[in-house]
Amino acid sequence: MKVYQTEDIRNIALIGGAKSGKTTIAESMLFEGKMINRRGSVDDKNTVSDYKPIELERQNSVHSSLLHTAYDGKKINMIDAPGFSDFVGETIAALSVADTAVLVVNGQSGVEATTETAYRQTVLMNSPVVFVVNQMDHHGANFNETVTALKDYFGDKVTTVQYPVNAGEGFDTIIDLVYMKMLKFKDGGGEPEILDIPDSEKDKAEELHLQLIENAAEGDEALMEKYFENDTLTIEEMREGLRLGMISRAILPVMVTSAKHGIGTTRLLDFVVKSCPAPNDRPAKATKDGKEFKCDANDPTALFVWKTSIEQHLGEVSFFKVYGGEVTEGQDLINSRTSNKERITQLFALNGKNRDKVDKVVAGDIAATIKLKDVKTGDTLMDPKNVDSGFESYPVPDPLYTVAIKAVNSSDDEKMAAVLNEMHKTDPTIIMEFSRELKQQLVKTQGDIHLNTIKWYLDNDYKIEVETFVPKVPYRETITKTANASYRHKKQSGGSGQFGEVHLRVQPYVEDYEKPTDIPVRGTEEHDLPWGGKLIFHNCIVGGAIDARFMPAIMKGLMERMEEGPLTGSYARDIVVYVYDGKMHPVDSNEISFKLAGRFAFSDAFKQAGPKIMEPIYNVEVTVPEDMMGSVMTDLQGRRAMIMGMDAKGKNQVIKARVPLAEMQRYATSLSSITSGRGVFSMQFLEYAQVPSDVQDKLLKEYEEQQKEED
């Protein structure tokens, strides 16, 4: 396969909502670039991009696909990203290496919730954007309303580059405002017939052409001067203005297609080649040590692994973009994370599951390799003579949906955990952890669809049947007042027995707490607990009532009870303990005796000290359209939320609240339902706070019943 130089490469990510037609656009671009002989369709389950069984079954993209086509002597790498917001990690990964986001909009539906989600990711990744209004052949398509909505949501930098003449059934004609010509396409695609703009469209075309020139000129002082001098710009100058404006995100061009019929595809390819930035037009990518790579073939070799996939017959495939130098077969590179050598054995240019072998990949290009020893998504491979800390990986969104999961057949638990770990490799937004505290295997995802995808793979590919549950809440236990207790552990069973007696006092820990005046403190240990909070242990023994060698055993008994609190078995925290008296036996006293005596004395004192259950409270920010605010606020208040304030953010409102974690279970699903998918939220841990008394009573009752069942 031909090796393309940096300036002859364009990297685009096809993003946007499900059913907007991204996969169909990719198919049409492959066909026009003569990479395939006939266009497949999603309905017929024969597209190049959607080839995995789950995608064929569901008829939508679940994983991003790397594709490439050629047009006008240029190579165009395309990453077709899934449309559902649950797969936002795939969109972010694609945008991390693409030089332009092609944001596809359904011409019937206009700006949807998933359009907003995709656009937010382009803001996060600072990606140039071109909107493509697709499906203009549908009887419900409305280009003018769609452009008005785009401007409404994303601002006046949204700029029409083309508009349809005959939107709806039979659509085949576009007015192009760069060329100022009418383009008439044949059903099935190909290059259009180029015609003069008819008189009936001239006034509208002239007005939009002027807006396009003004917006294109604004991105560059030299172009602005030429515009003032000549009252217009040449086609080349307009293209330059569009390119510069897109790089700075000062202009968001709007194109038109009916990808199903191939209408507008060649002009879209032409736009990508002539107006979208090449890899070396974008800002340099810096390593963690500050070294910059500008996609220059003369720099030392540096590549970034942005995706890992498990492919049938190939195994683990690493997808990468070259930011410096060239990569060749047989080349040895160093993984900056592990400092280990990795040999590039084979190089491929991919079109979905189809692969073309290449000998060399130049800076700016995107390709794939296999059989790397220890390379993860986010790793950097570098020239052995120029190794530094490597590139920062892209941001992975926080999980929004957590479930506890277990295999129906317990013998599959270990296999299930291994499979989930493999899934995390290919999708870093799937997070798996075993909670020792909750004694549950947790899976954290972006939502219901994401979780159902995991279950599909477990069921279909690995034959592991699983159950999912609402995860337990990591409550904490503490006390609110001071209490004393004692416990004598005595056991005699022939020979030496067990004896230990401990007297202690507990009080709540707060900063600058007051020590009692009636108990002299001889020694203090302060423990920052792994689960938060403190345990302060005071040794107040005088007169040798308990030998100093038994104090660590008492401390161990206390810590065991702190790890399984007396109320609900949750971790205890923020307690001060004074061990002030006790008794020993010259023969029967030993460490186990004092450990048990300390444990039970602490438990008794805890229950008398106004014990309280504490729950995790999260700062929650919910971004919703203004007209949906009332419903969202009502729902939050039903979740014991404390509303802290509201801010305007464009067309949306941001509601800030403090909400108990126990009330946030399945919130991603509820919010989506209330707002028709337009609401988004984030949550960050804030603090632990006491639960209301009615909630505490309910939790105590549930724990009591659970203990009875286990007994």
> Kind and range of the H or E element at 627?
none
User: How far apart, in whole angstroms, are the C-alpha atoms of residue 347 and residue 427?
Assistant: 22
Q: E-assigned strands of 545-666?
A: 571-572, 575-583, 612-625, 642-649, 652-660
pLDDT digits 0-9 by tens, 444-458: 999 999 999 999 999
711 pLDDT band (50/70/90 cuts)? low
* Residue 493 in this model has a pLDDT that exceeds 80: no
**Which whole number is the average pLDDT over 525-543?**
94
Q: Which of 363, 377, 361 is nearest to 316 (CA)?
A: 377
* pTM summary value: 0.90
In this structure, what DSSP letter does residue 680 have? E
* Residue 587 in this model has a pLDDT that exceeds 90: no
Count Cβ atoms below 10 Å from residue 125 Cβ, excluding itself: 19
Give the per-residue pLDDT at 651.
81
Give the per-residue pLDDT at 220.
83
* Residue 219 in this model has a pLDDT that exceeds 80: no
Structure tokens at 540: 């107040």
Structure tokens at 330: 């047989």
578 pLDDT band (50/70/90 cuts)? very high
Is residue 13 within 8 A of residue 1, CB to CB? The reply is no
pLDDT digits 0-9 by tens, 342-388: 999 999 999 998 999 999 999 999 999 999 999 999 999 999 999 88
Class of domain 401-469: alpha beta
Give the per-residue pLDDT at 245.
95
Amino acid (1-letter code) at residue 240: E
* Residue 126 in this model has a pLDDT that exceeds 80: yes
Class of domain 614-695: alpha beta
Q: Do 6-281 and 401-469 share a fold? A: no
Give the per-residue pLDDT at 494.
67
User: How far apart, in whole angstroms, are the C-alpha atoms of residue 680 and residue 647?
Assistant: 15
What percent of the chain has pLDDT above 70? 100
106, β-bridge pairs: 134
DSSP string, 307-360: EEEEETTTEEEEEEEEEESEEETT-EEEETTT--EEE---EEEEETTEEEEESE
User: How far apart, in whole angstroms, are the C-alpha atoms of residue 403 and residue 443?
Assistant: 6
38 pLDDT band (50/70/90 cuts)? very high
Give the per-residue pLDDT at 314.
80
Q: Which of 363, 368, 364 is nearest to 350 (CA)?
A: 368
71 pLDDT band (50/70/90 cuts)? very high
Is residue 462 within 8 A of residue 415, CB to CB? The reply is yes
Q: How many helices (H) and strands (E) does the chain have?
A: 16, 38
Is residue 390 within 8 A of residue 379, CB to CB? The reply is yes
The CATH code of domain 6-281 reads 3.40.50.300
* Residue 608 in this model has a pLDDT that exceeds 90: yes
Give the per-residue pLDDT at 76.
98
Q: Which of 165, 159, 87, 88 is nearest to 129 (CA)?
A: 159
Annotation: CATH topology of 477-610: Ribosomal Protein S5; domain 2 (3.30.230)
Domain positions in the chain: 6-281, 285-386, 401-469, 477-610, 614-695
Give the per-residue pLDDT at 254.
98
Give the per-residue pLDDT at 258.
97
**Which whole number is the average pLDDT over 700-711?**
83
Q: CATH number of the domain at 285-386, out of 2.40.30.10, 1.10.238.10, 1.10.3720.10, 2.60.40.10?
A: 2.40.30.10
Backbone region of residue 170 per phi and psi (left: phi > 0; alpha: psi in -120 to 50; beta: other values): left
Environment class of 285 (CB within 10 Å of its CB; exposed 0-12, middle 13-18, buried 19+):
buried
* Residue 496 in this model has a pLDDT that exceeds 80: no
